[in-house]
Structure 1
Amino acid sequence: MAAPGLHIHEKLIDECRRGSRKAQFRLYELYSKAMFNTAYRIMGNREEAEDMLQEAFTDCFRKIGSYRTDSTFGAWLKTIVINRCISKLRKREAEMIYIDDYSRYELPPDEPSEMQWPDPKAIARAVERLPEGYRVVFSLYLLEGYDHTEISQILGISESTSKTQYARAKEKLKRILSEMHRDG
């Protein structure tokens, strides 16, 4: 049995299962901003993120009968959004870096940088400039809170590939931020 308060929108979800457009619109209003942010961080492009958001909500309402209360509705919807984005990236045949032997690569430690961090908008612009594979792993790990095991399952890559791409994304992000700071 789910914890009290875990499914605060249960009535809306039930109405959506019965085909209520009003309930669908209300759920869209409640979740669209957060889901757009998730899609945008993965896609790195506003128009594509909007497309993925619309497709994800279409999938959500079509599949709402399969929603089970063992997770929150928001978590279930976020999974649909992420899967939709990943499918789109795969269709574009995004080039992700695959390396067979990771043992020879040492990952840099997660130590604070001496660099003065710029404002969040500058960081967001820098993340957008990351290569797609780096940006996806970076976004899923740091911004969405997935661990490398989960990322490897979502993207169909090895856990070590996820760790390597994350480490390289951080290094590339530092270089981009340094360039942005230097160029003013």
Structure 2
Amino acid sequence: MLCITGNQKAQIELYNRYYHAMYNTSFRIVNNSFEAEDIMQDSFITAFSKLDTLKDKSTFGGWLKRIVINNSIHAFNKNKHLDVNLDHVMYKVEDHQGVDNQTDFTSIKAQQVLETLNHLKPNYKVVLTLNLIEGYDYEEIGDVLNISYANCRTMISRAKNSLRKKLEQLY
């Protein structure tokens, strides 16, 4: 990979290829355009400076995305404290993967769901973004947010219920 040797053309090509996706990933977590831009820029700088540590060059996109998500969550945690430290409280939760049959969510537009997601409590927004949009599983989210698996499940379940209630109010 030419980027390892500091080839600026190669770096610009990679930057242009991944810029929008990485910005959107960061923005969904921090919900601030300027901060997302800064995080994305810092993440590219980090990635280019540590490119020699990447073992499989074909996984650059996933590796960069992980850097962006980690930096975004770090910024999020620095700016906002989670409402409840769930490590101090243990809950029994049923994980309802399905949706109530009474409400037809198939007609809800994705944009409306994303807008509604932005009105959730900040910690709910982060866990749902990581789980539903970025595809992280409970264990990965727990590692990133430094919470237990059970507490992660609890938070995601509550976040889904909160999102569901807000969407039901709209429709």
Task: Give the TM-score normalised by structure 2.
Answer: 0.88
The CA RMSD measured in Å over matched residues stands at 1.8
1:89 positional shift:
1.5
Moved more, 44-53 or 92-101: 92-101
Partner of 1:86: 73
- Runs of 5+ in structure 1 lacking a partner? 1-13
Establish whether residue 15 from structure 1 lines up as the match of residue 2 from structure 2.
yes
Corresponding residue for 1:120? Answer: 110
Deviations 1:133-182 (A, max 9, x none): 1111111111111111111111111111111111111111112223333x
Map 1:135-150 to 2 at 5 A: 135-150=125-140
* Other-structure match for 1:3: none
CA contact (8 A) 2:93 2:157 kept: no
Residue 76 of structure 1, aligned match among 63, 72, 77: 63
User: Where do 5+ consecutive residues of structure 2 fail to align?
Assistant: none
Paired residues of 2:128 and 2:156 also in contact (CA < 8 A): yes
Match of 1:132 in 2: 122
- Which residue is 1:162 aligned to? 152
Rounded to whole Å, the distance in 2 between the matches of 1:146 and 1:165 is 14
1:30-109 equivalence runs, <5 A:
30-69=17-56, 72-99=59-86, 100-103=88-91, 105-109=92-96
Give structure 1 regions of 4+ aligned residues with deviation exceeding 3 angstroms.
none
Residue identity (%): 34
- Normalized per residue, the structure richer in helix is 2
User: Aligned with 1:95: secondary structure?
Assistant: coil
Structure 1 counterpart of 2:35, one-letter code: E
Change (3 A) 1:83 1:164: same
**Counterparts of 2:143 and 2:93, CA distance in 1:** 23
For this pair of structures, how many residues does the alignment match? 167
| Cα distance change of structure 1 residues 78 and 138 upon mapping to structure 2, 3 Å threshold | same
Deviations 1:31-85 (A, max 9, x none): 1122122112222233322221111111111211221118711111011001111
For 1:149, the aligned partner's letter is E
